[in-house]
Amino acid sequence: MRVTFLGTGGGVPTSKRNLLSIAVRRENELLLFDVGEGTQRQMIFARVGCRRNMKVFITHMHGDHILGLPGLIQTMSMLDRGTSLDVYGPQGIVEFVDFIVNSFHFDLTFQINTHEVGEGTIYEGKDYSICAAWGDHVIPNLAYALVEKKRMGRFYPEKALKLGVPKGSLWFRLQHGEDVQLPDGRVIQSSEVTGPKRAGRKIVYSGDTKSSEDIIKLSQGADLLIHEATLDDDYAERASKEGHSTSSQAAMVAKKAGVKKLILTHISARYIDDVSIMVEQARKIFPETYIAEDLMSIEVPLKD
């Protein structure tokens, strides 16, 4: 699973940071979290295709998180996308997508399914789910967690051979949790030749928010927490007034939630040349802290 930061700035773009958007490539699917202005151009630079199976998750209805959606939809239509697109977000997202479709003069080549959602499980797939929790911003803001379901345990071929299971399709069925019957009538259970189920991966994205107990709960044990840190600690009062977090506040969320890695994003334009103070402040609380940069990609590996 690859996470690519298409945009990492907050409020206004800079010469180094586009507005916020995060792409998660999982197998043959692309999950896009927020769509700041110019996201479709960042997707070109990142070589993230926009024709693939895709879902979009909007955290809240501020412009720097949604104004790239009209351009993205138009670009996909001009490229003759035929696959439907699902868009999830808080109240207002249905009206906004309807406005895009009805007010911009281009021929839509694909169906858009728009879902207004709240806290809880908002999407349940075969291999993963998307859960949401409310943050603490000046308008309603959703944080999202991508939670993979448990994978089958490790397969032990030597055990299968010892039990007389011939190599081939029966092995495949056993690897995928199915019990099989041998020609001599014996039934071999999958659990006899596989280890315990392995935990899936978990990624959490906060959107815009002050420190939130609900987001801490949502983030428990995550492999990766992507949390906004608009300002450094010297501007804590301003951050609180505007519904944002400082670097140390984001780090404390990561520490309380017991996550493995924290990446700070939604960086104010005042830090165009130097973000070192934010890293220093956060790492005093949570050492595994990093600052997102535009087009930066990281792999979130499978667990053994």
Catalytic residue numbers read: 64
* Residue 242: how many other CB atoms lie within 10 Å: 16
What is d(CA 21, CA 54) in angstroms, rounded to the nearest whole number?
A: 14
Cβ(263)–Cβ(226) under 8 Å? yes
* Residue 226: how many other CB atoms lie within 10 Å: 28
Cβ(43)–Cβ(18) under 8 Å? no
Q: Reading across the β-sheet that carries 112-116, which strands appear in turn?
A: 112-116, 85-89, 53-57, 29-33, 21-26, 2-7, 297-299
With vertex at residue 301, the alpha carbon angle to CA 297 and CA 304, rounded to the nearest 5 degrees, is 175
Element at 58 (helix H, strand E): none
How far, rounded to the nearest angstrom, does the alpha carbon of residue 224 sit from its chain's CA centroid?
9
What is d(CA 61, CA 192) in angstroms, rounded to the nearest whole number?
A: 51
Per-residue tokens: 206: 């906060």
Helix/strand/coil for 100: helix
Cβ(252)–Cβ(233) under 8 Å? no
